[in-house]
Amino acid sequence: MKIKAYLTIYLTFSLTILLSVIMVLLAGIKKNTTRMEEEVALNTAGWSALAEYHQELLKQYDLFFIDTSYGSSYPGIEAIGDHVKEYANRNLSDTKLLDGRLALIDIQEAEIATDDGGEVLKQQIIEYEENYLGLETIENLFSKYREAEKETIDEKGLIKEKDENAAKLEAQKAPVRVVEKEQDERENDGTETCEETEEVPIEDPAAHVNELRKKGVLNLVVENTEKISDKAVRLEEYVSRRSSLLQGTGSLQKTAEKSLLAESKEKILLNAYIFQKFGYYGNEKENAALDYQVEYMIGGKKSDMENLKAVVNRLLLFREAANAAYLYGDAAKRAEISAMAASVAAVTLAPYLQPLLETSILFAWAYIESIQDVKLLLEGGKVPLLKTASDWRTDLNSILNFSGDSVDRGTEKGLTYQEYLAMLLLAEKEEKLLFPMMDIMEMDIRKTAYNENFRMDGCVSGFKVLAEFEDSSGGCSFIRTFCY
């Protein structure tokens, strides 16, 4: 009987310990299962929040961003947390055996399109272009722009020379000559001849061109100005002029420091994206708030007319410098210029003015040729960066009576208007391009249904959350990052 009692007590203790182990294991299983369910619910909720990307932004610009206004008037990063919390608790409510719920969620970090000077937006654009274009096309684009960079022109130096020459010529005193005049002699009822001096006006052959510079340039380069878009916007309503922007914490996907080569490639890809998604003169985008959108990125004015004028002025300045550089190197045309300057200097009895007149005539001729160049570009033609004798289309006498007549189609070699715009864009700082780009995105998306309050500084492409769950096992917390 003692042996039986001993076995009964041993079995009781063994079963108690075994049941305790089983209960601990079951509690652990429940806790870990609950934790797993909560983690899955959080991950699902996070990706569900990213699935609420702005459809019009994707449709027009192939960009993935959450509009944190969710159709309301005011965006807010905390709205993402509310959506994640709702989705997580919905997922957990379907689990009957577990009692977890998301009690607290905090958006610790968020990357907004406007953060870091638009760097967040640019990263997504670059990634899109790399996938859209492919490596071979990117390399071809890069090689093309590298070749164009080799044909350098000292634009600032040449224009400075023109301005200094004009100032010197204007400061010159008029030459004086002696003339004989007859004068009445009252006492003898006769006349006598006397000598007097008079100023000889300096007749600058470039005067007509210099007057043209002061007039509206669009009349000179556009055949029918009535066809120019008259669209205009209120710039203060858009992101680049907004007084206060919703601030994020910057890019969540940190990249290594970029080399100059990588930066150049990114700028070329940004250029490619601009011409894929935005309109410009001669290739306008339908239903756009502004027709000349690329010109707006360069000019930054409120109307299409003003932006086109700003770009035309930039192109005229560039082409004038390039044409002046060509004239300096063409001996035959320099001889023509020298002969005209010499004849004017001889008539005015001021041979010392000849060098100043030569420079004035040279830049006037370069300007007339530039007007024809820009006119040709706007009509869909091509103009070489650096010309040869066969590319030159005006004669020297055109500076005396130029009126902006129609121009021939020129040659088939050279760059188009789009390619000249691309060169102007490459000369701009990226931040100066990215914010006007976002202005245009706001303009056009606000024209679509239910998006009248759309703001790019309310668009989020990634966020980091701290989520705290409550359950009967004591609860748990997670930190997760979600990005497109």
In sequence order, the β-bridge partners of residue 352 are: none
Q: Nearest CA to 248 among 108, 125, 123, 127?
A: 108
Residue 457 DSSP class: G
Q: Decide: helix, strand or coil at residue 38.
A: helix
HSE of 417, CA atoms in CB hemisphere, 13 A: 21
Determine the pLDDT at residue 135. 62
Distance (Å, whole) CA 481 – CA 402: 65
The set of residues, in sequence order, having a beta carbon less than 8 Å from that of 208 and lying 6+ positions away, is 364, 399, 400, 401, 402
User: Does residue 99 contact residue 239 with C-beta atoms inside 8 Å?
Assistant: no
Q: Is 113 left (phi over 0), alpha (psi -120 to 50) or beta?
A: alpha
* The pLDDT of residue 5: 55
Tens digits of residue pLDDT in 260-300: 667 778 888 999 999 999 999 999 999 999 999 999 999 99
Give the model's confidence band at 404: pLDDT under 50 very low, under 70 low, under 90 confident, else very high: low
Buried b (16+ CB within 10 A) or exposed e, 298-320: bbbbbbbbbbbbbbbebbbbbbb
Helix/strand/coil for 256: coil
Q: Give the pair of three-digit tokens for residue 133.
A: 């274009």
Is residue 7 classed as helix, strand or coil in its secondary structure? helix
Residue-level pLDDT at 436: 96
**Residue 341 · residue 361 · CB < 8 Å:** yes
Q: What would you report as the CA-atom Rg of the chain, rounded to the nearest whole angstrom?
A: 37
Q: What is the pLDDT of residue 34?
A: 82
Q: Who has greater pLDDT, 261 or 130?
A: 130
Query: Is pLDDT at 74 greater than 60 in this prediction?
Result: yes
d(C-alpha 4, C-alpha 93), whole Å = 52
User: Can you list the alpha helix ranges (DSSP code H) found in 94-183?
Assistant: 115-133, 135-150, 155-171
Question: Does the pLDDT at position 411 exceed 80?
Answer: no
Query: What band does 418 get if pLDDT is binned at 50, 70 and 90?
Result: very high
Task: Pull the structure tokens for residue 473.
Answer: 């096992």
pLDDT of residue 198: 58
The answer to whether 68 and 81 have CB atoms below 8 angstroms apart is no
371's enclosing H/E stretch is: helix 354-378
Question: Region 24-33: what's the mean pLDDT?
Answer: 79
pLDDT of amino acid 179: 47
Where is average pLDDT lowest: 99-108, 118-127, 138-147, 341-350?
Answer: 138-147
Neighbours of 378 (CB within 10 A): 19
The yes-or-no verdict on residue 440 having pLDDT over 70 is yes
What is the mean pLDDT of the segment spanning 170-186?
60
Q: Please state the rounded mean pLDDT for residues 7-36.
A: 80
More confident residue, 178 or 199: 199
- Domain locations in the chain? 2-118+452-483, 151-174+204-241+278-445
3-state secondary structure of 306: helix
**At 29, is the pLDDT very low, low, confident or very high (cuts 50, 70, 90)?**
confident
Query: For residue 125, is pLDDT > 70?
Result: yes
Higher pLDDT, 412 or 123: 123
Position with higher pLDDT, 52 vs 268: 52
3-state secondary structure of 21: helix
List the one residue out of 125, 126, 121, 130 whose CA is nearest residue 250. 121
Q: In Å, how far are 152, 278, 340 from 331, measured between CA atoms?
A: 21, 44, 14
Calculate mean pLDDT across residues 249-255: 83
Nearest to 469 by CA among 100, 71, 41, 74: 100
Average pLDDT, the chain: 86
The answer to whether the beta carbons of residues 300 and 436 sit under 8 Å apart is yes
The per-residue pLDDT for 131 is 85
pLDDT for res 178: 47
Asked whether the predicted pLDDT for residue 458 surpasses 80, the reply is yes
φ and ψ of 273, to 5 deg: -60, -40
Q: Would you state the structure tokens that stand for residue 268, as one six-digit string?
A: 């070329």
Q: Average of pLDDT values for 438-443?
A: 97
The sign of the torsion formed by the CA atoms of 427, 430, 433, 436 equals negative
Kindly state the DSSP code that residue 235 receives in the 8-state scheme: G
Query: What are 186-203's pLDDT values in tens digits?
Result: 555 555 555 555 565 677
- Residue with the larger pLDDT of the pair 4 and 415: 415
For the stretch 92-119, pLDDT in tens is 887 766 788 999 999 999 999 999 999 9
Please name the residues in contact with 447: beta carbons below 8 A apart, sequence gap of 6 or more.
287, 288, 289
Q: What is the mean pLDDT of residues 338-365?
A: 89
